Chains A and B, each alone.
Chain A
Amino acid sequence: MKRVIITVVGKDAVGIIAKVCTYLAQNQVNILDISQTIVGGYFNMMMVTDPAKSTKETGEIADELDAMGKSMGLSIRVMGEDIFNAMHRI
């Protein structure tokens, strides 16, 4: 299973999680874990997801979430989990 990590950073507002989760549900991306924190008024969220059942490719999901993020003034990045493991785990 190739897991994908989605990070969301930006100014806190009502409904950020709801909007991202709705998009993921519509696209059959399963959420395995969510952590979230607010630092200095900035919203930080990380989701570990499994897109195996999604009909869309990771790159396409990345583009759509990026566009959605921009419309809400957020930065949303979709990246394969391997890159984080490579960087932070020996």
Chain B
Amino acid sequence: MINILEATETVKMITQENLDVRTITMGISLLDCITSDLAQLNENIYSKITTCAKDLVKVGNEIEREYGIPVVNKRISVTPIGLVGASACRTPEDFVSIAQTLDRAAKEVGVNFLGGFSAVVSKGMTPAEENLIRAIPRALASTDFVCSSVNVGSTKTGIDMDAIRLLGEIILETARLTKEQDSLGCAKLVVFCNAPDDNPFMAGAFHGVTEGDTVINVGVSGPGVVKTALESVRGENFEVLCETIKKTAFKVTRVGQLVAQEASRRLGVPFGIIDLSLAPTPAIGDSVADILCEIGLEYAGAPGTTAALALLNDQVKKGGVMASSYVGGLSGAFIPVSEDQGMIDAVEAGALHLEKLEAMTCVCSVGLDMIAIPGDTKASSISGIIADEMAIGMVNQKTTAVRLIPVIGKGVGESVEFGGLLGHAPIMPVNRFSCEDFIRRQGRIPAPIHSFKN
């Protein structure tokens, strides 16, 4: 039987160290909604989502109350709309109507985000997918809960530079259309390389075509728990440090596994994967950067940061893998800037720059995330940053992503407040030299060689 020390440890993790289940995300395939009639398609999508997910929020809340563990978000991911809308949508405006349908469905079932207004164009864009990408600014400006993502490259296919060129402009346009809210629309748009089909985290979640009809994916989180565990091994050697992270990640992930199985059983929907991520929030004590500091850095961004993050990311995976029967999604340490108070502090102290963040993304679970940049940044520079990040993912066979927010009307030295889980962000300077001629080239970067690994 559980003893009092174990019980107290678990309670402390939840009440004092922000342990929570970050999201229960239901993946829903919309492939069977496809028809060439737009009105009918919208109706099919609305009815499928509101039928499949009608009990999602209720079940999430029940689990929260019965087990006493916060289940922070209940969300939905759907098949990339670039595929679903291909035969019915002739113009970007047609795709905007689907985004609005998704938003209505999300509101009807009570989820707080719905991902999948997406296109997977790692080798090339179909006319429909290009229309979807062109629809993104209006789609995000005219909806509240819809999230969008575009996969522009993979290790197997190379990088679609035409899509990246277009996305530089699309990100700026999204920023302009949502400038009244500090360009918040860009917080709902992610550009990926090697995007996973089963990621439960927003804004990049979509229900890939390799998935079944419906699935439950769960994302856990607990940076505060890891930080507290590490406080007890200050000054110890790397072996002790790594073992402590692994044990903590194991415990955190086991909670996610339990919640996922329970949600799957109650909803009658198959369990997909646990995403064993360290996902920070702006709450004090819920920071990945604070873990890096506890490992021994003055600020995230100091020399040694990449090594410390690599170690952290790897140990989280090693500890978490055994705790769950299926692991997937992004799994690892997230390093968003605006959503992590320790990262914000590091930027404000001058310890952390875009270039160092880029280096960190080589070893973290995703990429350049929630970074506010000046609103007058050129589209080609944004495309250049995306291309760099995609190249890191392509060559290293990992998922990388870019979620930049060019804040219209603001520059370096100012900051933006997004509120809630999205936090606030100081605006970071972007390298001012041009890459315009590089971005103007058409076509794609070939897939990398898979031998001669040096």
Q: Do A and B bind each other?
A: yes
Assembled-state Cα–Cα distance A81/B15 (Å) = 17
Structural contact, B255 and A87, CB atoms closer than 8 A: yes
Whether the Cβ atoms of A62 and B68 lie closer than 8 Å is yes
A residues in contact with B3, CB < 8 Å: 35, 46
B10 at the interface (CB under 8 A from A): yes
- What's the tally of chain B residues with a CB closer than 8 Å to chain A? 24
Q: Is B69 an interface residue (CB 8 A)?
A: yes
CA distance A45 to B11 in the complex (A): 12
Q: Which of A48, A79, A81 has a CB less than 8 Å from the CB of B11?
A: A79
Q: Is the CB of B2 within 8 A of A59?
A: no
Contact (A7, B11) CB under 8 Å given A80-B66, A83-B255, A86-B257: yes
Write out, one digit per residue, whether chain A residues 51-90 have a CB within 8 A of any chain B CB (1) or not (0).
Answer: 0000001110010000000000001011111111111110
Whether B68 pairs with A79 at a CB distance below 8 angstroms is yes
Would you list which residues of chain B between 1 and 39 have a CB under 8 Å from chain A?
1-4, 6-11, 14-15
A14-33 CB contacts (< 8 Å) to partner B: 33
The complex places the Cα of A35 from the Cα of B69 at a distance, in Å, of 22
Check B298 for interface membership: any CB of A closer than 8 A: no
Q: For the complex, what is the distance from the CA of A69 to the CA of B297, rounded to whole Å?
A: 40
Q: In whole angstroms, what is the CA distance A30 to B47 when docked?
A: 45
- For B6, B7, B262, which residue has the most chain A Cβ atoms within 10 angstroms? B7
The listed residue (B1, B251, B255) touching A33 by CB distance below 8 A is: B1
When A5-B2, A77-B15 are in contact, do A84 and B68 touch as well, CB less than 8 Å? no
Q: A83-B69, A86-B257 are in contact. Are A9 and B8 (CB under 8 A)?
A: yes
The reply to whether the CB of B266 lies closer than 8 angstroms to some CB of chain A is no
Q: How far is the CA of A75 from the CA of B16 in the complex (A)?
A: 12
Docked-complex contact A46 and B68, CB < 8 angstroms: no
Known contacts A7-B7, A9-B11, A58-B65; A85 and B2 CB within 8 A of each other: yes
- Tell me, in angstroms, the Cα distance from A82 to B69 when the chains sit together: 12
A62 to chain B, nearest CB (A): 6
Q: Which of A9, A36, A45, A88 has its CB near the most chain B CB atoms (within 10 A)?
A: A88
Q: Tell me, in angstroms, the Cα distance from A44 to B10 when the chains sit together.
A: 13
Partner of A46, one of B8, B14, B254, B258: B8
Q: Which residues from 248 to 267 on chain B have a C-beta closer than 8 Å to any C-beta of chain A?
A: 251, 254-255, 257-258, 262
What's the minimum C-beta distance from A48 to chain B, rounded to whole angstroms? 7
- A48 and B1: CB pair below 8 A? yes
- Given A35-B3, A79-B67, A80-B67; A59-B10 close (CB under 8 Å): no
Give, as a whole number of angstroms, the nearest-CB distance from B362 to chain A: 32
| Assembly CA distance A37 to B8 (angstroms) | 11
Q: Is the CB of B8 within 8 A of A7?
A: yes
A4 to B255, CA, bound (A): 16
- Which partner residue on chain B sits nearest A81 by CB separation? B2
Question: Would you call B67 and A82 a contact (CB within 8 A)?
Answer: yes
CB distance from A84 to the nearest CB of B (A): 4
Q: Mark B231-262, 1 if CB is under 8 A from A, else 0.
A: 00000000000000000000100110110001
Q: Is residue B62 contacting chain A, with contact meaning CB distance below 8 A?
A: yes
| Bound complex: CA A47 to CA B11 (Å) | 13
Interface contact B258-A59, CB-CB below 8 Å: no
A residues in contact with B69, CB < 8 Å = 79, 83
When the two chains form the complex, which single residue of B2, B14, B62, B66 contacts A88, counting CB atoms closer than 8 Å?
B2
Which listed residue (B1, B8, B10, B66) contacts A87, Cβ 8 A? B10
In angstroms, Cα B11 to Cα A62, docked, is: 14
CB-CB under 8 A for A82 and B11, given A46-B4, A59-B65: no
A-B CB contact pairs (8 Å), 11 listed: A9-B11, A36-B4, A44-B4, A46-B8, A58-B66, A79-B11, A79-B69, A83-B67, A83-B69, A87-B251, A88-B2
Closest 6 pairs (CB-CB, A-B): A59-B65, A79-B68, A86-B258, A86-B254, A84-B2, A46-B4
